[in-house]
Amino acid sequence: MIRSPLRLACLALALLAPVAAQAQAARKPHILYIVADDLGFADVGFRSPEIATPTIDQLAREGAELEQFYVQPMCTPTRAALMTGRYPMRYGLQSFVILPEQNYGIPLDEKLLPQILKEAGYSTAIIGKWHLGHADRKLWPKQRGFDYQYGALIGEIDYNTHKVHGVTDWYRNNRKLDEPGYVTTLLGKDAVRHIRQHDPAKPLFMYLAFTAPHTPFQAPKEYVDRFNSIADPNRRTYAAMINAMDEQIGAVLAELSRKGMREDTLVIFHSDNGGVTSAAFAGQIETKGQLPARNTPLRNGKGSLDEGGTRAVALANWPGRIKPGKVDQPMHVVDMLPTLAARAGASLAGTKPLDGVDVWQTLSRGAPSPRTEIVYNVEMFRAALRQGDWKLNLRATLPAKVELYNIAKDPGETTNLAAENAPLVAALQKRIDDLSREMKPSLFFQETFKSYLGRHAPAPVFPNDDAFFIQGD
């Protein structure tokens, strides 16, 4: 039979269409992973009209708003969990943050997310805050899988001088920089510049880790003036810091669009912990006045194992690949490594046993989460665990505390149901105790105690009390 050229062309297109679809599906996405610092759960425009975040709002509206995205209660542990796909208690980073005078970091035998993606053909860049080791160059981002680095190694810096305790903490590719500018603006501009220079044919993983809105509360006057309706000065400046970050995120997305990369880019955004509601966690730089963050309707904030400290504002956006809407399913930041690795077609060879699971179906279309347990944290003096809807919060320091909440019905943790559910408390407490036996000693407390004893004293065994007292006898 003789076929017309038009019919042959149509037949060819029909045969090639599945191949093209498979090729599109197999393409490695660009990944833009954005982390805010100490952002309150309620402090984005789609939750509170008081703070304008039009870019973040649009990402949430056109993507998945993640209602139950869990992180660690503080900065270093959350970032470590993201980088390893493992709970920080596995390697001693479960407590507090790495202070400027401390010399430990994420252990070198942990294989990190940028290393995994780099092996899969990605160009990797960190622009912003690291806070996973600064005293030894082996712990720096360029030595842990990032091709490009720009920003702060610690992060709790002055937004204009880029200093912490009088020392500059501002680097590009291992070299200290002395340059003027507001930190948030510099990070956004550098991200835009990096994308502009990037070859779209090569997959890009950009970890854009803002220091905003962490203390000190500082913002250019032009941003502060946008919030004159807010009476409290800290709240007004805090809002300005968030707005400035939102504006830079918008510039980065615009550059992705200009380069023809936006449709192929998976965007993840979340805070590293809840907003600061206690002066104990407001940072080393003195902050006067009322703390401005809001984690409504959740209880407490940064540093606590309550929902306000560990449930972060979060979203995911990928045009045509992520179904818009709210996803009210539990997931944890440790899940991001296996989820991103799967999208990138990356091998997990060389990683230690992961606590994270691939939550793509939940993230992208709201399917039930494969995660049945959330480990909020396990430390020598406290722990919290959630299984299903039930959360147990333990404090071992006296006066001891045992709290049980049905998080689905009571996300604000207002009604302690421990007394009425003794068998459930016992089961969850046993699970926590089992996890504690897998816990590595806290590097923060080891380092702190070593400093107290003196640098030439033997390294203490801590926090394992039995071993500690045996050593002291």
- Taking Cα atoms as reference points, which of 381, 374, 209, 369 lies closest to residue 307? 374
Instruction: Report pLDDT digits (tens) over 258-272.
Output: 999 999 999 999 999
- Position 461 pLDDT exceeds 90: no
| Structural tokens at position 57 | 């709002």
Kindly state the average pLDDT of the residues 110-114: 98
β-bridge mates for residue 151, sequence order: 171
CA 185, CA 200: separation in Å to the nearest integer?
24
HSE of 224, CA atoms in CB hemisphere, 13 A: 12
CA 456, CA 181: separation in Å to the nearest integer?
41
Q: According to DSSP H, which parts of 65-224 are helical?
A: 75-84, 113-119, 183-197, 221-224
Helix (H, G, I), strand (E, B) or coil at 319: coil
- In contact, 63 and 315? CB cutoff 8 Å: yes
The catalytic residue among 75, 214, 270, 332 is 75
- In contact, 90 and 322? CB cutoff 8 Å: no
Residue 165 annotated among the catalytic residues of the structure? no
pLDDT of residue 58: 98
Instruction: Report pLDDT digits (tens) over 336-350.
Output: 999 999 999 999 999
Backbone angles phi, psi at 269, to 5 degrees: -135, 135
- In contact, 48 and 307? CB cutoff 8 Å: no
Strand 204-209 relative to strand 30-36, pairing: parallel
Residue 194 annotated among the catalytic residues of the structure? no
Instruction: Report pLDDT digits (tens) over 346-376.
Output: 999 999 999 999 999 999 999 999 999 999 9
Largest CA distance in the chain: 97
Using N-to-C axis directions, what is the helix angle for 336-344 and 75-84, rounded to 10°? 30
Q: Return the residue matching tokens 């669009």.
A: 257
Length of the chain: 473
Residue ranges and CATH numbers for the domains of the chain are 28-372 (3.40.720.10), 380-438 (3.30.1120.10), 443-472 (no CATH)
What is the value of pTM for the model shown?
0.91
**Which letter does DSSP use for residue 370 in this model?**
S
Q: Categorize the per-residue pLDDT at 209 as very low, low, confident or very high, splitting at 50, 70 and 90.
A: very high
The catalytic residue among 30, 131, 194, 332 is 131
